[in-house]
Chain A
Amino acid sequence: MIRYVARRLVYMVAALFIIVSVTFFISKALPGTPFANPKLSPQVREQLFEKYGLDEPLYVQYVKYIANVAQGDLGNSYYFEGRSVSELILQRLPVSAFIGVQAVIFGLVIGMVLGIVAALWHNTVWDTLAVVVAILGVSVPSFVLGPLLQYWLGLKLGWFPIAFFESWIYSVLPSLALSVFVVSTVARFIRTEMLEVMGQDYITLAKAKGLSGLAVIIKHVLRNAMIPLVTVMAPLTIYIITGSLVIEQIFAVPGIGEQFVQSVLVNDYSMILGTTIFFSVLFIVALLIQDIMYGIIDPRIRVSGAKE
């Protein structure tokens, strides 16, 4: 187990190193410099170059950049003068994190209910309904569902505010739109796993020992059916991240995603690259936790020699 984790850590660092290197060389390959403003006199520009170390040879800049990133310093925003990228990201983080976590909670609750209902009443209308919802969930992207919710629940029915972020009620629609994918993934997983687990011998044994149906479902079926759910953690993280880019744009939520799209539009390169690194770290850490948790939760995997 320890060797396994150590190996994963090495890959993690390697992946991060590649990402940071790629972002550095991309930032160098981009046309123009952050100080291309023609109003600047050559002297001022030279001073700015000196201040930001842009006059040094490329390899020196590269080493410095890597060292800075390793210390969590992602440079300064070109657009918001005098503010560091890390500071801007951290400032926006709570809103995005709140909506993302809430979306995962919505998704887990709705998805589990759907999956359980579908498995218990297998091959009935409920089952079909859950399968249809699951297919719609992976097929209808959040950037279609978002406007749909805005239009019906917000505009026509007036139940929820359509945009901005002032209190909890404002977070419902964005989280809901973001949660569809979670709902369908969780529902599908729980359904297939429960169907499989319910046919196992130990479930028959539990029933034979006289446990009530509910106790069997909760204590034995659900607990075992939830194991594979861990494997969707990394895909879900990436989904929530990319989803937040469009959802925050649609609902005008002041989160990281909205800021990222804005920085793409105004060519705030340091912001784009910094946020990219931030997202990558998030994803890689999720991947690592997922792999480790999988080994801990399901001893069967450990015994049969952890397959990556």
Chain B
Amino acid sequence: MTSTHSLANGTASDGPGPAVTVRPLPAVPGGWELAVRAFRCWLVMYRRTWRSSVWSSVLGPLFYLGAMGYGLGSLVDRNGTAALGGVPYVVFVAPAVLVVQAMNTAISNAMFPVFGGIHWNKIYVAARATMLRPADIYRGHLLFIALRIAMNSACFVVIMAAFGLIKSVWAVALLPASVLLGFAFAAPVAAWAVTLRTQTPMNYVVRFGSIPLMLFSGTFFPVSSLPGWLRPLAYATPLWHGVALCRALSTGTVDAGAAAIHVGYLVVMAAIGLWWGSRTYYRRLYV
């Protein structure tokens, strides 16, 4: 008697003995649906842990606004703000603080929890055993990071409005702009962080990456104050594009061409990050 195996009709019989029925494999949803499932998992975890970060998310930028915007601002305004386009220093600095907060949220959430997903609490490794593919794990996490950036930015935009620092109706676009900037950082940084074997490089990214970026990208003083040879470097950083974009939106000095360049730059950076991330996640989780 020959043995017959057939997955199509779901039965296998192999000589004497009862026939064994093999259930057909389930269909795997495509697109971003699985990513959304991963995102929901992050939401459940966040419900438990949000209290531990809410104060630094809200108070941190507020402190910088107070010290730099108002404290330092009183010294700058005394001297004249022609170099800033005639606005008080605090109006000049506030959108930069918004953007810097978005960048810091993006980078720290794209580094430490990603590394931790493999080495500390190992959630990535756990998720890998389910039907989620590495790309889904990656995108689900990015969705969560985008949510956190949106929440932090929304808080700060409200603060800006309350302090009278918003000068134009274009400011409604501040929230999506800062989320876009944050996403543009989170995508490539997460793609990189998942490949790490030790945690020391992450400290270097903060000390030699995000801090100098925060200080020199036209945030506290215009890029025109930088020495000539440094200026192109500043223009090339995504943070400068975000700062310039958000500053234009909140002060109402929007120029369609410049805005298009800024938005385009950030979109391209996000796209490259997404492409790179699905490759690094695949290699790290499946190989």
A and B found bound together:
no
- Residue ranges of B at the interface with A (Cβ–Cβ < 8 Å): none
- Residue ranges of A at the interface with B (Cβ–Cβ < 8 Å): none
